[in-house]
C-alpha cells in the first residue's frame, strides 16, 4: 500500500463514517434497540478515529519511507473493516457470534498505532 492509497482509503472511510453516522442517527434511531444503536455508534466512532489515522499515516509517508509505516496503514485499514465492520453487522443483524471478529480488528488497530510509533522512532 503506497501513500496515495493510504490517503485515498482514509478519505473514503471518512466519507463512509459521515454517511453511516447520519444513517444511524436518522434511519436506525427508531428501528434498533438502544443497546444495538450504541454498538453501531461505537463502530462509527472508531471508524472516524482510524480513518483520521490513515490520513495521518499517508501524510507522514511523504516524509518517511518505511515498511513500518506501510504496515501501519495496512493494519489500520484491516482494523476498520474487521472492528467497525463487525460491529455494524452485529448491530443491524443482532447475530452475536459476529462480535467474535471485533477483537481481531481491535488488535489490528493497536498494532497499527504501534507500527506508526516504530516508524517515527526509527526515523
Q: What's the rounded Cα separation, in Å, for the pair 77 and 60?
A: 16
Among 59, 55, 73, which Cα is nearest to 116's?
73
Q: pLDDT, tens digit, for every residue of 59-96?
A: 999 999 999 999 999 999 999 999 999 999 999 999 99
pTM here is 0.95
Sole residue written with cell 507522514: 60
Q: pLDDT, tens digit, for every residue of 6-65?
A: 999 999 999 999 999 999 999 998 899 999 999 999 999 999 999 999 999 999 999 999
**For the chain, which residues make up each domain, given as ranges?**
3-122
Amino acid at each position: 500500500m503506497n501513500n496515495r492509497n493510504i490517503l485515498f482509503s482514509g478519505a473514503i472511510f471518512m466519507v463512509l463514517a459521515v454517511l453511516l453516522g447520519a444513517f444511524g442517527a436518522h434511519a436506525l434511531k427508531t428501528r434498533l434497540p438502544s443497546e444495538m444503536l450504541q454498538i453501531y455508534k461505537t463502530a462509527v466512532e472508531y471508524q472516524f478515529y482510524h480513518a483520521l489515522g490513515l490520513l495521518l499515516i499517508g501524510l507522514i509517508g511523504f516524509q518517511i519511507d518505511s515498511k513500518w509505516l506501510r504496515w501501519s496503514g495496512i493494519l489500520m485499514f484491516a482494523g476498520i473493516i474487521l472492528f467497525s465492520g463487525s460491529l455494524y453487522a452485529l448491530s443491524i443483524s443482532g447475530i452475536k457470534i459476529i462480535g467474535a471478529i471485533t477483537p481481531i480488528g481491535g488488535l489490528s488497530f493497536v498494532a497499527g498505532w504501534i507500527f506508526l510509533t516504530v516508524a517515527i522512532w526509527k526515523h
